[in-house]
Amino acid sequence: MNKIDRIKELIDILNRASRAYYAEDVEIMSNFEYDKLYDELVTLEAETGTVFANSPTQNVGYEVVSELPKEKHPARMLSLDKTKEVDALVSWLGDKEGLLSWKMDGLTVVLTYENGGLIKAVTRGNGEIGEVITPNAKTFVNLPKSINYMGRLTIRGEAIITYSDFERINDSITDADAKYKNPRNLCSGSVRQLNSKVTAERSVRFYAFSMVEPDDAELLSELGNSFEKRFDYLKSLGFEVVEFERVTAATLPDTVKIFSDKIPGNDFPTDGLVLSYDDIEYGISLGTTAKFPRSAIAFKWRDEEAETVLREIEWSPSRTGLINPVAIFDTVDLEGTDVSRASLHNISYIKDMQLGIGDRIKVYKANMIIPQISENLTKSGAFSLPDACPACGGTVTVRSENDTETLICSNPECPAKNIKHFSLFVSRNAMNIDGMSEATLEKFIGEGILHDLSDLYQLQNHKDTIIGMEGFGEKSYVNLMNAIETSRKADMAAFLYGLGIPGFGVANAKLIVKAYKSDIEAIIDAKEEDLVEIDQVGDVLAHDFVAYFKNDKNLSEVRKLLAEIEFIIEENTSEQDLDGMTFVITGSLETYPNRDALKKEIEDRGGKVAGSVSAKTTCLINNDINSASSKNKKAKSLGIPIITEEMFKNKQFT
- Kindly list the catalytic residues: 103
Strands (E), 74-217: 82-83, 98-104, 107-114, 117-123, 129-131, 153-160, 205-211
Say how far apart CA 120 and CA 134 lie, in whole Å: 5
Q: What are phi and psi of 600, to 5 degrees?
A: -60, -45
Q: Identify the helix (H) or strand (E) that includes residue 343.
A: strand 337-343
Say how far apart CA 19 and CA 279 lie, in whole Å: 35
The separation between the first and the last C-alpha atoms of the chain, rounded to the nearest angstrom, is 89
Select from 551, 607, 595, 568 the least CA-distant residue to 431: 568
Beta carbons within 8 Å of 489's beta carbon, 6+ residues apart: 565, 566, 568
Partners of residue 210 on adjacent β-strands: 156
Say how far apart CA 61 and CA 126 lie, in whole Å: 5
Alpha-carbon distances of 586 from 160, 241, 624, 627, rounded to whole Å = 38, 45, 9, 11
Say how far apart CA 620 and CA 627 lie, in whole Å: 12
* Crossing angle of helices 163-171 and 183-191, rounded to 10°: 80
Q: What are phi and psi of 431, to 5 degrees?
A: -85, -10
DSSP string across 212-259: ---S-HHHHHHHTTBHHHHHHHHHHTT--B--EEEE-TTTHHHHHHHH
Say how far apart CA 126 and CA 19 lie, in whole Å: 10
Contact 175, 424 (CB under 8 A): no
Alpha-carbon distances of 617 from 246, 336, 594, 635, rounded to whole Å = 71, 63, 21, 9
* Degrees to nearest 5, angle at CA 237 with 235 and 243: 15
Q: Identify the helix (H) or strand (E) that includes residue 584.
A: strand 582-585
* Degrees to nearest 5, angle at CA 439 with 500 and 433: 55
Alpha-carbon distances of 333 from 304, 307, 311, 371, 473, rounded to whole Å = 10, 10, 17, 11, 18
Contact 12, 41 (CB under 8 A): no
Contact 302, 311 (CB under 8 A): no
